[in-house]
Amino acid sequence: MAVVLREVWNSIDRLSTVITWSTGIVVAVSFVFGLIAVIADRRREKLQNDVDLAREEPISDTRRKTEELRQQNLRVETTLEPEGTTRLGLEGSLAPRAVEVIWDGGLSNLDGLKPFAGMQALIEYVPDFEARKAAEQILFVIKSAGWANPSIGTFPDAPDGVTVEQYTVPGHADFNGEPGRSRDAASALISFLEAQGWQAGPGLASERPIPPNSVRIRVGLKPSP
């Protein structure tokens, strides 16, 4: 009986040892597979990060190049702006003088000249093509405003720009009546021309008198800027 019990005990002991070893092996194998899974996850995460960076690099590079081009364009615009301003000023100084009649409903920019309908105008211009064209435009404007019987012709000299001379009574300083109306008509024409960007100013027809109810319009060369 003792022998049988001893054999049973030995069998149980061997079985316990086998179970212990099996458990250890299972634990070890589980640890190894867990470690492999962790390493695999880390490698997969690193690979994903590398892929994301590879996608972002072209975008960042494109943005950088775009910003560089924008800054370059700004530098070019800054450099060309003074040149463009100078060019526009030169073009404006070389362009012939011109007037523009603007209509808005029943109103126009000629309305300031219309109260002087019947005013006579003696237009003179220096022997110059541009000055002649400017004088012809003034002729068109005052005729459109109802001024009467304007005449036009050349004269050897005139100040640069346009000078509008009013009628004066020799030996009198009274600017009412005919002289006053001539003065107001001259002022209205000067205002119209200045609104068009022309250089214009007043004058007195004292050296070469003109008839009452009239003005003399002297068209010189276009002033230099």
Residue 15, helix vs strand vs coil:
helix
Q: How far apart are CA 136 and CA 103, in angstroms?
A: 20
Q: How far apart are CA 97 and CA 105, in angstroms?
A: 26
Please report the pLDDT score of residue 141 as a whole number. 97
Q: How far apart are CA 149 and CA 153, in angstroms?
A: 13
- Where the chain has pLDDT below 70, the residues are 1-38, 40, 47, 49-60, 76-77, 79-93, 170-178
Q: What is the dihedral of CA 100, 101, 105, 106, to 10 degrees?
A: 160
Residue 128, helix vs strand vs coil:
coil
Planar angle of CA 197, 216, 124, nearest 5 degrees: 75
Q: Within 13 Å of residue 92, how many CA atoms lie on the same side as its CB?
A: 10
Please report the pLDDT score of residue 116 as a whole number. 96
Please report the pLDDT score of residue 42 as a whole number. 75
**HEC profile for 61-115?**
HHHHHHHHHHHHHHHHHHHHHHHHHHHHHHHHHHCCCCCCCCEECCEECCCCCHH
Query: Which are the contacts of 160, defined by CB distance < 8 A and separation ≥ 6?
Result: 199, 220, 221, 222, 223, 224
| Helix and strand numbers, DSSP H then E, in the chain | 3, 7
DSSP 167: P
